[in-house]
Chain A
Amino acid sequence: MARMKFLCDADRCIECNACVTACKNEHEVPWGINRRRVVTINDGLPGERSVSMACMHCTDAPCASVCPVDCFYTTDDAVVLHNKDTCIGCGYCSYACPFGAPQYPQTANFGTRGKMDKCTYCSGGPEQDMSQAEYVKYGANRLAEGKLPLCAEMCSTKALLAGDGDIIAEIYRERVVTRGYGSGAWGWRDAYGETVTV
């Protein structure tokens, strides 16, 4: 089984937001929720970089460790998923996440956040694979169809890479060696405890 990861090559990302749009459309993500977003650092300055960020599907995910109802689980592909039927919308996972991945459909006052929503690495939830029930709650299950997450597949500059961690790290490493610079695998140290060394 693969160890699925995301890697955003910030030196290639042009902030076109196609990944964001692809994600919203593929999963019919409700208004106000962005499972993926593009953050631009040093905006308008020399050295500006854009990074596409979503749930990084951490090793020893902090969200799972603080969840009071233990609704998180890790799939065989090392994707961190959660069960919306169990989720009570307490908000702890959003406190714990270093990447701002967990989000809620409603305004947060009086504990009425609703069920947490986040990136599923295009692999649905605990329901039957590719069922209607799964689609309504979590969106499409592309992994079950043998496909990779749509955000990375759609990326026009191939900045966003998805797939087995070792393979995408190798692709990134080759790029850095070839072009002579690289701003690093954003978020890897916090998500996986190791970064890509060139």
Chain B
Amino acid sequence: MSYLSKIAAILSLAFAVAVIAPQARAQVNPTAESVSEDALFQALGTEGVVSGRVSIPDQSAGNLIKPVNKDWALLHGNTVVTLSVLAVIGMLALLTAFYVIRGRIRVDSGLSGRTILRFNSIERFAHWTLASTFIILAISGMNLIIGKSVILPVLGEGAFGTLSAWGKIAHNYLAWPFMVSLALIFVLWVIENIPNKLDMEWIKLGGGLFKKGVHPPAKKFNAGQKVIFWSVIVGGAALSYTGFMLLFPSIAGSFTDWQFYQLIHALVAAGLSAIIIAHIYIGSVGMEGAFDAMGSGEVDENWAKEHHSLWVEEVKGGKSASGKGAATPAE
């Protein structure tokens, strides 16, 4: 026998072992007197699920033992709860500190009394639909995380169960107007939210947030608002996708997929909630004149000049450019 044929024989043997070994492993120790649980888990590795055949219609019942499910239980029961609470409490603490140090951001040059239309009725409708559904979704979602330690002791088990059941229904159905208005917001504002060079300038000056009288130039949306916009779009899309999968588990797949979607859903929700709390703060108590933009849609001209100088020029420029040429006073 030549060396060549010997090598070929060894190679084919190695190949056969490589191909057959995984099959043999799946069938575990067929000659043993007893197939033990320990041997099975050892053969299956750390991600092992012991499964076999069942004679009932629900074939997923064939999974006998899935130890990995306990890892999800730990992640959800400890890590997600801790991170969610930290995100929300942390943001509230930061904002309180900011308010104590900086106070309410005033319009430095005082209110002019003249107003400019900043957001039209369609923009406001989209914003408030998104905002109101998000708040209900966030609260009913947060209830599933910390409700049992915060609300349950107050209400008692019966009332808390009823409340949470309603919260679940609200969560499942208000998700749809949330998704629709998220898409609408994206279409309405994406052009003005594309990052550009001005944003670097704005970020360098801290947006003027930390120092009185500092007002970096900005168009319709400054860098801070763009961060909010993209957080809402990306976070909202992630929540929509994972939420959809949780609503239709048969489309999503099996247990590992549901666990994965649930974790992403909960973590993104916690992060986005923290960001939105900051957004609500700066749009209400945090800054004079800011709420009008989404309230009546009309903002004070001086507020607009301080916070969105280039946008004011664009809006006014459009009007007065035609006025300038035609009606320059004679003197």
Contacts and interface: CB of A to CB of B under 8 A. Distances in A.
Interface of A: 10-11, 15, 17, 20, 32, 34, 37-43, 45-51, 53, 62-63, 65-71, 83, 85-92, 94-100, 107-111, 181-187, 189-190, 195
A109 B152 contact: no
B70 A34 contact: no
A88 B35 contact: no
B55 A17 contact: yes
Interface in B29-87: 29-38, 40, 50-58, 60-70, 72-74, 76-77
Contacts of A62: 69-70, 73-74, 77
A3 to B, nearest CB: 20
Contacts of A87: 161
Interface of B: 27-38, 40, 50-58, 60-70, 72-74, 76-77, 143-145, 147-148, 152, 157-158, 160-161, 164-165, 168-169, 172, 247-250, 255, 258-259, 262
B48 to A, nearest CB: 11
A69 B30 contact: no
Contact of A95 (B62, B72, B148, B168): B72
Given A39-B62, A71-B161, A86-B160, A111 B69 contact: no
20 contacts: A17-B55, A20-B56, A37-B54, A42-B30, A62-B77, A69-B147, A69-B148, A69-B164, A85-B158, A86-B160, A94-B255, A95-B76, A95-B262, A99-B65, A100-B66, A109-B247, A111-B247, A181-B33, A184-B38, A195-B37
Given A38-B54, A86-B161, A109 B36 contact: no
A87 B59 CA distance: 25
A41 B40 CA distance: 10
B77 A65 contact: yes
Given A53-B64, A91-B258, 16 more contacts: A17-B55, A39-B63, A39-B64, A42-B35, A43-B53, A46-B31, A65-B73, A66-B77, A69-B157, A95-B262, A98-B65, A98-B66, A98-B70, A110-B248, A111-B169, A184-B36
Contacts of A53: 64-65
Contact of B64 (A48, A90, A107, A186): A186
A112 B174 CA distance: 15
Contacts of A41: 28, 35, 40, 50-52, 64
A88 B161 contact: yes
Contacts of A189: 37
In the complex, the 7 A-B pairs of residues with the closest C-beta atoms, listed nearest first: A86-B161, A62-B73, A96-B73, A68-B144, A184-B37, A41-B52, A65-B77
B57 to A, nearest CB: 8
Given A85-B161, A100-B61, A95 B36 contact: no
Contacts of A91: 249, 258
A43 to B, nearest CB: 4
Nearest to A44: B53
Contact of B249 (A108, A185, A187): A108
A70 B152 contact: yes
A90 B168 contact: yes
B58 A32 contact: yes
A41 B258 CA distance: 25
Contacts of A190: 65, 67, 70
Contacts of B164: 68-69, 88
Contacts of B70: 62, 96, 98, 190
Contacts of A107: 250
